[in-house]
């Protein structure tokens, strides 16, 4: 029992470190989004990050840990997180940090729903009800009664963090499966490698910025503008992105490998107040009333789902112990 407690404690510490690094990463990318394309940031971040990840991999046991019998599942996992990043950061370029982060936090609710058909898990009416409440929070944040002028951005942009949440949820389900036989550093290296390949392909197709000419949509400009050499003051920000990338990939994979998801996942919600904090400190952004209501609904329903899962797991464990006595 003490060994499990220690693993759960370490899992919580890893998830807190990872979520803090994610919040810093999001802040840095939003800060740089006005002058650089996303795929350039991803390439530099992942090129620096994979060096750190390979160093950690060597410390964990060596490069042979990259060998796998299911390479295509690792590639699929990498592509899912690439789509999650692209859609989220495209939204982040034009949305307040807290708004985009809150919409993305429907991911845990999607994991609960997707675990039914993909993992065969049973989800009771209480958790289904919480998922419905969480999605009601998404609807409130999207303000379907408001016109585009009141929203300040095209309504389609509000769906980008939700698409990111869906692909992230699918990625996490694959992580649960692959993490059984693959180390945290190896999982991070596979992700970083996928990012590098995809960003190079973007550079070959759109690195000269020809597809961004005449575009007024801020999200599309962020995706398609030309690569430029970083300004002197921005080089350190790019280095920070790379270092953060290694921390994120390792800490999240390690957290979900060391402890059960019901224990560590609620701590991911630390990212919401951190997003509000960065938005307030750097851009003087604070959520309005409707966004605040949506944040409360999404955060409350997500925490309820996790606490409910933890309670059910404890009941199942007690039932197994009683069964063993007889």
Alpha-carbon span 165 to 150, nearest angstrom: 25
pLDDT at res. 36: 93
End-to-end CA distance of the chain: 21
- 258-285: per-residue pLDDT in tens? 777 667 777 888 899 999 999 999 999 9
- Residue 314, both tokens: 């404890």
Residue 181 neighbours by CB under 8 Å, 6+ apart:
68
- 126-147: per-residue pLDDT in tens? 888 988 999 999 999 988 877 7
pLDDT at res. 5: 54
**Full-model pTM:** 0.83
Average pLDDT, the chain: 84
Alpha-carbon span 122 to 41, nearest angstrom: 40
Q: How confident is the model at residue 210 (pLDDT cuts 50, 70, 90)?
A: very high
| Mean pLDDT, rounded, for 144-157 | 79
Overall domain count for the chain: 1
Domain limits at 246?
Answer: 2-325
Sign of CA dihedral 254, 311, 325, 5: positive
| Mean pLDDT, rounded, for 307-326 | 53
């Amino acid at each position: 029992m003490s060994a499990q407690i220690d693993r759960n404690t370490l899992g919580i510490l890893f998830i807190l470190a990872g979520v803090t690094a994610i919040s810093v990463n999001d802040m840095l990318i939003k800060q740089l989004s006005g002058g650089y394309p996303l795929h350039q940031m991803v390439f530099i971040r992942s090129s620096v990050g994979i060096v750190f990840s390979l160093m950690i991999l060597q410390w964990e046991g060596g490069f042979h840990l990259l060998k796998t019998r299911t390479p295509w599942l690792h590639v699929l996992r990498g592509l899912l997180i690439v789509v999650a990043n692209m859609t989220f950061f495209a939204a982040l370029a034009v949305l307040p940090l807290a708004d985009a982060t809150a919409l993305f936090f429907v991911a845990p609710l999607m994991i609960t729903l997707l675990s039914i058909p993909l993992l065969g898990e049973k989800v009771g009416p209480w958790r289904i009800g919480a998922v419905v409440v969480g999605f009601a929070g998404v609807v409130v944040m999207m303000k379907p009664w408001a016109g585009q002028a009141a929203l300040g951005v095209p309504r389609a942009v509000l769906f980008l963090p939700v698409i990111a949440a869906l692909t992230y949820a699918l990625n996490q389900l694959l992580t649960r499966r692959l993490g059984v036989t693959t180390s945290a550093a190896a999982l991070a290296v596979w992700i970083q490698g996928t990012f590098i390949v995809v960003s190079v392909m973007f550079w070959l197709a759109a690195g000269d910025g020809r597809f961004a000419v005449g575009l007024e949509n801020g999200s599309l400009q962020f995706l398609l503008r030309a690569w430029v050499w970083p300004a002197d003051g921005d080089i350190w920000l790019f280095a920070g992105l790379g270092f953060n990338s290694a921390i994120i990939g390792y800490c999240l994979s390690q957290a979900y490998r060391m402890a059960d998801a019901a224990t560590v996942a609620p701590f991911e919600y630390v990212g919401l107040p951190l997003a509000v904090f960065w938005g307030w400190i750097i851009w003087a952004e604070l959520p309005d009333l409707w966004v605040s209501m949506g944040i409360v609904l999404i955060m409350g329903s997500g925490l309820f789902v996790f606490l409910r899962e933890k309670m059910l797991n404890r009941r199942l464990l007690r039932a197994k112990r009683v069964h063993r006595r007889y």
